[in-house]
Amino acid sequence: MKNILVTGGAGYIGSHTLLELIKAGFRVISVDNYYNSIDLSYQLVEEITGAKIKKYQLDLADKNDVEIVFQENQIDGIIHFAALKSVPDSVANPIFCYQNNNNSTLIIAHYANKYNVKNLVFSSSCSVYGNVSPEDLPVQEDTPIRKAESPYAYSKQNGEVFLKSICEVSNLKVFALRYFNPVGAHPSGQLGEFPSKHSNNLVPIITQTAAGIRDHMTVFGDNWNTRDGSCIRDYIHVTDIALAHVLALQKLFHPEWNNQFEIINLGSGKGVSVFEAIKSFEEVSGVKVNYKMGDRREGDVEAIYSLPQKAKRVLGWEAQYDVNDMMTSAWQWQLKLIELGFNLTKI
């Protein structure tokens, strides 16, 4: 049985990936400092899988703290999720963002090298493509990288550059997975993203509005050059994202896989507009969403969606869940959060 170190395992995508790794027969070790998560996500994964997660609470950006994880465990592969993901927070405090996101990546790479761990999956983001223009769509892995729109996006561009150059001079093999817009919750409705003041994503805002936690939500602009005037994004179910990580690790472990650094887009390939997302939610939940129209937000991109062919070709991965599945699971999870006593001020 192979041991996988998952950084940021208590977080949204990390916890769903722990679950799929356990189901696929891996033993998992997780590190998180709970900056944007809570211990309860581990408990929920343990309840669903019946497995025990070995976990460490420490700061991956602090080199002295991290070595113990490598000393105490024989690690076969690493999935490096841990990062601060809030774009507005990164604009407000870019140095903190770089210190956290880039130092943690370098520290993980340092110990991977020292302890001879050769396989790593890195959480990257479609934000590395910058402000894509309509002629760049659909976005492919070789679509030109434009100027990053935020320190967060720079931190992901930097992470990729560091890892690629480390791969060139070592035996480290890396998949950098560029996620589009992960949403939804585990199909059981028993695991999902805990509400956070650092999160500003559309789907939790929809479900919180429907649940009455928010009085209303705002749609930023109905005059974009899109089919219904609202922005278009490539939403992808979090379980599909998690499964892609399992496949990426299995590929890295395959004796014939010798590529050192590969970038792969993880998207559904289908753009969904804000109005379409709201409509899908209303259909599957039977609950009306109280939304108001607002002005365009500075920094928003009109439309971005992927061409996920490389993921299919290299990993044998494609999205299994559609937007209705995303909304159904997100609503189930919202109801579970209410049952657990969570509201926005609790985290």
The set of catalytic residues is: 152
Cβ closer to ligand NAD: 67 or 222? Answer: 67
The footprint of ligand NAD (CB under 6 A) covers: 8, 10-14, 31-37, 59-61, 81-85, 100, 104, 123, 125, 179, 181-182
State the nearest-atom distance from the C-beta of 286 to ligand NAD, in Å. Answer: 27
Rounded distance between C-alpha atoms, residue 305 and residue 117, angstroms: 34
Rounded distance between C-alpha atoms, residue 75 and residue 331, angstroms: 36
Cβ closer to ligand NAD: 92 or 293? Answer: 92
* Segment holding 266, helix H or strand E: strand 261-266
Pairing type for strands 272-273 and 232-233 reads antiparallel
Cβ closer to ligand NAD: 99 or 113? Answer: 99
State the nearest-atom distance from the C-beta of 152 to ligand NAD, in Å. Answer: 7
Closest CB to ligand NAD: residue number: 11
Rounded distance between C-alpha atoms, residue 278 and residue 294, angstroms: 15
State the nearest-atom distance from the C-beta of 300 to ligand NAD, in Å. Answer: 15
Cβ closer to ligand NAD: 123 or 273? Answer: 123
State the nearest-atom distance from the C-beta of 105 to ligand NAD, in Å. Answer: 9
* 19 exposure class (CB count in 10 Å sphere: 0-12, 13-18, 19+): buried
Helix 151-168 / helix 94-114 crossing angle, nearest 10 deg: 20
- Give, in degrees to the nearest 5, the angle at Cα 79 between 318 and 309: 20
Cβ closer to ligand NAD: 1 or 85? Answer: 85
Rounded distance between C-alpha atoms, residue 199 and residue 222, angstroms: 23
Rounded distance between C-alpha atoms, residue 134 and residue 272, angstroms: 15
State the nearest-atom distance from the C-beta of 60 to ligand NAD, in Å. Answer: 4
Peptide bond into 151 cis (omega under 30): no
Rounded distance between C-alpha atoms, residue 294 and residue 289, angstroms: 15
